[in-house]
């Protein structure tokens, strides 16, 4: 029977929502509680699953805390589960599966970072309340004991949940000193849940942002990705910049604020970036569309597309400002930052390529491209074309409605031309009319640089004139070869 003392009308409503969600938990979960109780140990559902239950969501990530030590937990799970495994036994966590139910069970614990260490020191605790005290925020420091389904909330997490506030269970400086990654978790939960950070907790984030430097890039990356893939990534980025966290984790984003000069000769690039991100998110598609939401590559490209501007800003005679080749500089900067944050190679390659290409469309509306230029645009974008379409459209943040409509119409025209050309040929897989083997046979040459030059000549010809056919391509190749002999 669900046991929670109602605090007020608002929290009572949340409690009813939680009761409905917890009732939907698989019977195996209650059975697990009984198995631990029979062995003389406590077991409680903790953290995110409890929070989500109050928000009306049944979580599939079932995290439990127990008084049992890891060896005991492993033995108990071996009897209960179809399979069990060592998730991180040195941190007290054992995983298991019974049917479709997957659980992780962790011994009550405390953990803290030493001054210059990237690895937390783990100590086992003896009480559920002590375990909840060492958690990141009060809304994640609630538990439901099993099998009794008794609600435990020593730090007022339910009231903070109802108020939409992130607050640490203990002094925030102590909490962030114990685990600096909690600073990034605050960023993530702000974006995921739409919550505000309590003033003292926010002040501690600012004061201790530099402490994030001791956390491994992989752990920071994990929180950053979760934030970017949430429903409100802009909120997370704004919090990062406001608190100084961005200066440590994404200094290129923080630096965008410096592009605003006192004479207002150029738009606010930082604010522009946030709007581009919002618009890119809106342009993502459903699960069966070209760019299913949420798309990490598109969102990263939106955040990083203009990071080359501070390094390339020049004040021109007459009061103007320029950022020549900022897309090329930005692409290199994006690759360097993402590599430092331990993103995978494909993501780094794709994001930096989008940053490099995001200005390619500019000028199309003033001087319509040839079919060759359209083919090259598609070929250069390759599998990123649909994302490039969306990044380019999102990059229009002008308040001039007439200009915005003109740019949208120009891009509509470009997409229509791409579609028309694609009907005539397999545009995304453009190849010369002759391959390397044919080139060597026709020219009577062996593998070497000349074959590469001939191949590029035929590819350029294909871009310029469309499909030629093998006979016409052969004639053009021979003419080129004759003209290029010494």
* In a shared domain, residues 95 and 135: yes
pLDDT at 360 over 90: no
Return d(Cα 311, Cα 5) in angstroms, integer. Answer: 58
- Split at pLDDT 50, 70, 90, the class of 323 is confident
* In a shared domain, residues 298 and 398: yes
* In a shared domain, residues 422 and 287: yes
Return d(Cα 138, Cα 132) in angstroms, integer. Answer: 8
Return d(Cα 428, Cα 458) in angstroms, integer. Answer: 17
* In a shared domain, residues 57 and 179: no
Average pLDDT, the chain: 87
Q: What is the pLDDT of residues 72-115, one digit of tens each?
A: 999 999 999 999 998 888 888 999 999 989 999 999 987 555 65
* In a shared domain, residues 36 and 154: yes
* In a shared domain, residues 17 and 123: yes
* Higher local confidence (pLDDT), 421 or 341: 341
Q: State the pLDDT at residue 68.
A: 94
* In a shared domain, residues 50 and 150: yes
pLDDT at 44 over 90: yes
Give percent of the chain above pLDDT 90: 52
Residues sharing a CB contact under 8 Å with residue 357, sequence separation 6 or more, in sequence order: 327, 380, 381, 384, 388
Measured torsion, CA atoms of residues 215, 220, 222, 227, in degrees rounded to the nearest 10:
140
Lowest-confidence region among 15-24, 140-149, 401-410, 456-465? 15-24
- Axis crossing angle, helix 217-228 with helix 181-193, rounded to the nearest 10: 10
Q: Taking residues 430-457, what's their average pLDDT?
A: 86
98 beta partners: 101
- Burial state string for 213-246 with b = 16 or more CB within 10 A and e = fewer than 16: eebeeebbbbbbbbbbbbebbbbbbbbbbebbbb
The domain that holds 230 is classified in CATH as: 1.10.110.30
* In a shared domain, residues 190 and 238: yes
- 22-31, 178-187, 402-411: range with highest mean pLDDT: 178-187
Categorise residue 107: left if φ over 0, alpha if ψ from -120 to 50, beta otherwise. Answer: beta
Residues sharing a CB contact under 8 Å with residue 128, sequence separation 6 or more, in sequence order: 42, 44, 65, 67, 108, 143, 145, 152
Q: State the pLDDT at residue 66.
A: 95
DSSP state of 285: B
Lowest-confidence region among 217-226, 291-300, 413-422? 413-422
C-alpha separations of 22 from 27, 141, 220, 467, 480 in Å: 10, 17, 31, 63, 75
* In a shared domain, residues 154 and 241: no
257 domain residue, yes or no: no
Range of the domain at 208: 164-249
402 domain residue, yes or no: yes
239 domain residue, yes or no: yes
Residue 154, CB-side half-sphere exposure with 13 Å CA sphere: 16
Of 193, 222, 249, the residue that ends a domain is 249
Give the pair of three-digit tokens for residue 193.
């849940």
Angle subtended at Cα 403 by Cα 400 and Cα 404, rounded to the nearest 5 degrees: 85
Structural domain tally of the chain? 4
Element housing 64 (H / E): strand 62-66
14 domain residue, yes or no: yes
Single out the residue of 67, 81, 85 nearest to residue 28, CA to CA: 81
* In a shared domain, residues 330 and 425: yes
């Amino acid at each position: 029977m669900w046991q929670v003392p109602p605090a007020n009308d608002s929290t009572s409503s949340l409690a009813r929502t939680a009761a409905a969600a917890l009732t939907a938990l698989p019977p195996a979960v209650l059975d697990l509680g009984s198995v631990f109780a029979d062995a003389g140990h406590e077991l409680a559902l903790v953290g995110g699953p409890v929070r989500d239950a109050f928000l009306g969501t049944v979580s599939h990530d079932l995290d439990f805390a127990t008084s049992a030590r890891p060896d005991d937990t492993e033995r108990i799970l071996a009897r209960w589960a179809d399979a069990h495994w060592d998730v991180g036994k040195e941190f007290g966590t054992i995983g298991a599966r019974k049917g479709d139910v997957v659980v992780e069970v962790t011994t009550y614990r405390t953990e803290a970072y030493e001054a210059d260490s990237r690895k937390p020191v783990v100590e086992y605790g003896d009480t559920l309340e002590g375990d909840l005290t060492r958690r990141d925020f009060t809304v994640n420091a609630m538990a439901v004991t099993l099998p009794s389904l008794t609600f435990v909330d020593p730090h007022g997490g339910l009231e903070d949940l109802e108020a939409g506030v992130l607050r640490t269970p203990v002094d925030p400086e102590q909490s962030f000193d114990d685990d600096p990654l909690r600073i990034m978790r605050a960023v993530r939960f702000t974006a995921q849940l739409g919550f505000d950070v309590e003033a003292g907790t926010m002040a501690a984030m600012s004061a201790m942002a530099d402490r994030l430097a001791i956390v491994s890039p992989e752990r920071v990356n994990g929180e950053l990705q979760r934030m970017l893939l949430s429903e409100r990534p802009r909120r997370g980025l704004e919090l990062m910049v406001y608190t100084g966290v961005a200066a440590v984790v994404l200094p290129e984003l923080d630096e965008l604020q410096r592009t605003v000069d006192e004479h207002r000769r150029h738009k606010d690039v930082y604010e522009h970036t946030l709007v581009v991100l919002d618009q890119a998110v809106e342009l993502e598609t459903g699960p069966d569309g070209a760019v299913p939401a949420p798309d990490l590559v598109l969102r990263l490209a939106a955040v990083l597309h203009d990071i080359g501007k501070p390094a390339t800003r020049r004040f021109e005679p007459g009061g103007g400002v320029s950022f020549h080749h900022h897309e090329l500089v930005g692409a290199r900067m994006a690759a360097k930052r993402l590599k430092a944050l331990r993103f995978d190679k494909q993501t780094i390659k794709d994001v930096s390529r989008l940053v490099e290409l995001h200005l390619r469309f500019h000028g199309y509306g003033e001087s319509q491209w040839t079919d060759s230029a359209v083919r090259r645009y598609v070929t250069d974008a390759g599998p990123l074309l649909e994302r490039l379409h969306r990044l380019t459209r999102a990059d229009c943040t002008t308040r001039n409605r007439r200009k915005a409509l003109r740019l949208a119409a120009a891009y509509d025209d470009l997409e229509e031309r791409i579609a028309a050309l694609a009907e005539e040929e397999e545009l995304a897989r453009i190849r010369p009319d002759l391959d390397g083997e044919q080139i060597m046979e026709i020219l009577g040459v062996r593998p070497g640089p000349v074959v590469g030059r001939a191949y590029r000549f035929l590819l350029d010809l294909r871009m310029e004139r469309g499909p030629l056919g093998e006979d016409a391509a052969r004639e053009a190749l021979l003419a080129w070869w004759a003209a290029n002999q010494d």
